[in-house]
Structure 1
């Protein structure tokens, strides 16, 4: 005797698990909401000032806002300062984090767990809490109004140490033994074995670090006083401090100039960005 078979239950479950039009619509609405400020900045930057607050399809296009913004501030100096600052911080972070992570992952010494716990505690402390103490330290050593003063508090990254330590611990220790048999020193093993295997993590952290320090504003504003040491984010404040009022066309043009390198890099290397984060396990 054969039992009746319900032929409708399986297709219904499959259809229920598939994303519907409501999910797609919600995703598009969220994407549009996120893009509205960027779209407004692009519209305002490429049109005369009188069209900054009204939308007209026949409005003339112009590049004059970018020319005026570039001449109103020393953008070339700001770009140089920001690029040098980001590269300096990233290089120091990768070097120090690599050495610290390797020590935490492969060496056994007294107080190792306590030291690593202190590193994790740093992840829970907001950088803004340390502004006053960091400023006093920079003033004591005479580094106020300089690029090293901006970068020094960020040279040691607890986030990078944590990521690399977890990655190094997942690498089989037999590779260490094989390298030692071949006559490699500890630093040679680190450089030739561990670092190549952790490339996705290095790439993922580099993206986070560059993006954060390119857009960092509060600490550079506090610790710098002159054009020679100011990065792009601090230099942009000149456009909102004029007595004649705020010209949104110039402000948006200057904002696009400062964010263009990151936007272009993301558009060109978005596949590598996503793959690096997926391989590194960062969510």
Structure 2
């Protein structure tokens, strides 16, 4: 009789559990990337909360202080920068959501000549880097007389191809029975949009809102080009001017100012990271 087959898998076919196993390798790479990302942040936190003489050496006996934040706040008009940036992200997001909702609704539910060509042009816009349009956008803003204003910073971003694409795909998945039932009840096209399509696309709005706010809060090049005065500068431009001209190389105060400008986004992510991830998963953004 043949010997019973061993239930243990041969050594050659057992999954590898060494350092270079696929799962272990991915985890190791993720930890390395996280370490590379967090080291500069830890250095900025240490430098911002300690006196300038401790910026270049890590002494655990160093006293903690908030003086760097007070000095940074008083050395530049950060209150104005925060106000300008907040107004900018709210204005851009509000206009983007309104225009993108109407455009996506038209592309998804209305048949009109040139619809497919127009939507193809929207998709082409996704492949165009915004930096390639800096010269043309600046010339347009100059002809309109809008240079050095918050409106000028946001105007080129009012129409979002990404939002139109995501909302259009979501609207096309809405069951037709819901729309037909609403029409039987006498609902207009605008009422159908507001009462059926918009509520069902709420995860898309949340996911895109996160992307839009993060991008325009951190945007630097276009605000730098189109603004000239404190009255219209955003946080990123104000921080650059502050660190290079007004404050020189005082790393303690520069680190404190950097943390102040990035704190709203960092705190928002830490407090609502679960909602962030869920919104992106429901929206299908990878």
TM-score (norm 2): 0.93
* Kept after mapping to 1: 8 A contact 2:148/2:226: yes
The equivalent position to 1:266 in structure 2, one of 259, 262, 269, is 269
The equivalent position to 2:283 in structure 1, one of 243, 268, 280, is 280
The equivalent position to 1:202 in structure 2, one of 201, 205, 208, is 205
Number of residues paired by the alignment?
283
Further displaced range: 4-13 or 146-155: 4-13
* Kept after mapping to 1: 8 A contact 2:247/2:254: no
Aligned to 2:187: 184
Aligned to 1:141: 144
1:239 matched to 2:242: yes
1:213 matched to 2:197: no
Aligned to 2:47: 44
1:9 matched to 2:3: no
**RMSD of aligned residue pairs (Cα, Å):** 2.1
Distance of 2:240 and 2:211 partners within structure 1: 24
Give the direction of change, closer, same or farther, for the CA distance of 1:14–1:113 in structure 2 (3 Å limit): farther
* Kept after mapping to 1: 8 A contact 2:46/2:55: yes
Aligned to 1:93: 96
The equivalent position to 2:178 in structure 1, one of 161, 165, 175, is 175
Distance of 2:13 and 2:108 partners within structure 1: 46
Per-residue CA distance 1:83-140 (angstroms, 9 max, x = gap): 0100000000000000000100111111111000100111111111111111111111
SS in 2 for 1:201: helix
Task: Quote how far apart the aligned CAs of 1:239 are.
Answer: 2.5
Task: Quote how far apart the aligned CAs of 1:23 are.
Answer: 5.0
Distance of 2:206 and 2:233 partners within structure 1: 27
The equivalent position to 1:166 in structure 2, one of 165, 169, 176, is 169
* Kept after mapping to 2: 8 A contact 1:239/1:250: no
Distance of 2:10 and 2:183 partners within structure 1: 57
TM-score (norm 1): 0.94
Give the direction of change, closer, same or farther, for the CA distance of 1:2–1:113 in structure 2 (3 Å limit): farther
Structure 1 alignment gaps of length 5 or more: none
Task: Quote how far apart the aligned CAs of 1:13 are.
Answer: 7.2
1:115 matched to 2:123: no
Distance of 2:3 and 2:165 partners within structure 1: 58
Give the direction of change, closer, same or farther, for the CA distance of 1:83–1:13 in structure 2 (3 Å limit): farther
Further displaced range: 25-34 or 193-202: 25-34
Structure 2 alignment gaps of length 5 or more: none
Task: Quote how far apart the aligned CAs of 1:60 are.
Answer: 1.5
Distance of 2:147 and 2:8 partners within structure 1: 73
Task: Quote how far apart the aligned CAs of 1:241 are.
Answer: 2.4
Task: Quote how far apart the aligned CAs of 1:242 are.
Answer: 3.0
* Kept after mapping to 2: 8 A contact 1:239/1:246: no
